[in-house]
Structure 1
Amino acid sequence: MLLDLTLRPNRSFDRRHARWLIAAVGGLFFLGGLRFLALGAWPILPFMLADVLLLLWAFHSNYLSGGGHEHLALGGDDLTLTQVSPLGAVRVTRLEPYFTRVAVEETPLGDAHLFLESRGRRLAVGYFLSAPERRDVGAVIAAALSRYRAGGALPASV
């Protein structure tokens, strides 16, 4: 196999640390809420609770969206792109390696978009990656495709 690449979204915080952060913020808000309650400013308490719940929802949404991934495999006579959505829906696309080109489009703001183009089809790859990562992944895919074209299909014994 010339290329076996799995792309996953980056997450800066693991779940354990997110729980610790939410517990710490909740604890601080609880102590602050007791102070406001003692001062007679009880209407602030629902807003503090809403803040903690919104933080919890934001982390939950972040980790839910990070459940998707993409897998690229180049072997035999096809390039297979398997895209798994965060909700688990799977889409498999097979492309012919001889006709597939890698396109990295630069935007005026310095971002980069990565596409696989083949016979009029255009597939976005790695939309969840940063621009430098997309450029690097594009170079890896292009190198694998050029190795495939130079050497042809791999023998069955490899």
Structure 2
Amino acid sequence: MNQTVKKKQTLFPAVAAAIFNEQGEILLQKRRDVGQWGVISGHVEFGETVESAILREIREETNREAHIKRLIGVYSSPTSQTYHYPDRSVQYVTTYFEAQLTEMISKDFSKEETLELQFFKTDQLPDNLAMMNPHWLRDALSQTSQVFIR
């Protein structure tokens, strides 16, 4: 008997942050779990607001405090926000902020989830980027007060 096993499907609230330095370069994290580069991001924990969640994620991943400069947008498109794992599929609804570090990160920084942190020129990003919304960088660089819903 050919039986198809349906993967568990979950919807998770998530947060992400675009963090720029004074030269306009964007901070990317090379994640230990997938070995790919991406913006600082994570899950919203029960009892947290999205604002407190992103500030906690920044603190956990960089060992630095930050403040939120603006809301960039909310990303929920199944095309760019669904990840397929061996046992489940997860669609993230990601609240995306621009944040600023209160002090610079130390060189050669690494932590449990972070292999490396590095600022990149926005036109010279690494090849091995994690899957993200195709508009993530353009939206972050936008100088309008528009909040993007994607």
Is the structural similarity TM-score above 0.5? Answer: no
Q: TM-score, normalised by structure 1?
A: 0.22
Higher relative contact order (Cα pairs below 8 Å, separated by 6+ residues): 2
More helix by share: 1
More strand by share: 2
Tell which structure's C-alpha radius of gyration is larger.
1
Q: TM-score, normalised by structure 2?
A: 0.22
